[in-house]
């Protein structure tokens, strides 16, 4: 299926690794020009080299998204150089484990700043370009916002707020024909997730235990499955906005006791 993304300019935050990298690579394979937005210059350079070796093109913006003024300047400069932005994927985030039991109010606010505030700031920067192109925004959420998870109040609150912002931005941007949706993954086998597994006493047993609770196929979700959904949502084939799309093998909504 041709998604109609050829030559589209797609900005992906946290685009050098994991889900973000899968989105970038899939965009490039569809003929779009992905812009990797990441603070890790070495990771970006290595990933871009990997893309070039397979004949794929990309652009990059090296910036720390928590520095909103610097990020605004860098992203606007790149958008002006390229002439437009057709889609924005707010993917950057990190489960920093700020808990009710051990965290402080300051830790909690820092977690919101790390995982939520930059989504507003980047979308604010991109919105004039998206309005001009009648483009799309896809936010990457987390099942933690729906199901909860031990010891992660800050991250859960940030991802819950991102669901709310998706609805709000879809409403605000509807008059400009800009679509805003959110993809909500669960148990995705990214390098970050693998790192967490490796800290458990028996990583393989832990993975099997988690996979056994996923109704469809009893397996973890792949980054490519998230990327495929994102690409459809940013493509002109999708005309829906304000939607919450769970890509999780039924983890959140199917009765795991019956699987």
Read off the CATH number of the domain in which 234 is found: 3.40.50.720
pLDDT, tens only, 203-213: 999 999 999 99
First CA to last CA distance, the chain: 32
What integer is the mean pLDDT of 89-98? Answer: 94
The catalytic residues are 155
pLDDT band at 259 (very low <50, low <70, confident <90, very high): low
DSSP state, 115? I
Nearest to 93 by CA among 143, 148, 155, 40: 155
What integer is the mean pLDDT of 241-249? Answer: 97
Residue 21 within a domain: yes
Count: domains in the chain: 1
The parent domain of residue 41 ranges over: 9-187+224-253
What values do phi and psi take at 249, rounded to 5?
A: 65, 25
Residue 258, pLDDT > 80, answer: no
Residue 4 within a domain: no
Residue 195 within a domain: no
Residue 196 within a domain: no
What integer is the mean pLDDT of 22-47? Answer: 98
Residue 200 within a domain: no
DSSP 15-70: TTSHHHHHHHHHHHHTT-EEEEEES-HHHHHHHHHHHHHTT---EEEE--TTSHHH
CA geometry: angle 65, 178, 71, nearest 5 deg: 15
pLDDT, tens only, 105-159: 999 999 999 999 999 999 999 999 999 999 999 999 999 999 988 889 999 999 9
Residue 100 within a domain: yes
pTM for this entry: 0.95
What integer is the mean pLDDT of 254-259? Answer: 68
């Amino acid at each position: 299926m041709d998604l109609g993304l050829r030559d589209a300019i797609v900005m992906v935050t946290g685009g050098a690794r994991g889900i973000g990298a899968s989105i970038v690579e899939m965009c490039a394979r569809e003929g779009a020009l992905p812009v990797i937005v990441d603070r890790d210059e070495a990771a970006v350079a290595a990933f871009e080299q990997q893309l070039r070796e397979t004949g794929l093109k990309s652009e990059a913006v090296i910036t720390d998204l928590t520095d909103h003024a610097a990020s605004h300047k860098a992203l606007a400069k790149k958008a002006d150089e390229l002439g437009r932005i057709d889609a924005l994927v707010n993917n950057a985030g990190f489960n920093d484990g700020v808990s009710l039991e051990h965290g402080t109010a300051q830790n909690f606010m820092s977690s919101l700043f790390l995982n939520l505030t930059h989504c507003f700031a980047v979308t604010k920067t991109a919105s004039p370009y998206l309005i001009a192109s009648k483009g799309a925004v896809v936010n990457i959420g987390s099942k933690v916002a729906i199901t909860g998870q031990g010891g992660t109040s800050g991250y859960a609150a940030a991802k819950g707020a991102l669901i709310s912002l998706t609805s709000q931005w879809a409403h605000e941007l509807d008059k400009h024909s800009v679509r805003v949706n959110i993809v909500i993954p669960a148990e995705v086998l990214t390098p970050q997730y693998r790192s967490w597994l490796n800290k458990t006493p028996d990583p393989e047993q832990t993975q099997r235990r988690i996979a056994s609770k996923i109704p469809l196929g009893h397996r973890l979700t792949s980054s490519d499955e998230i990327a495929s959904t994102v690409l459809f949502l940013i493509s002109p084939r999708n005309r829906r906005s304000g939607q919450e799309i769970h890509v999780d093998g039924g983890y959140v909504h199917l009765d795991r006791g019956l699987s």
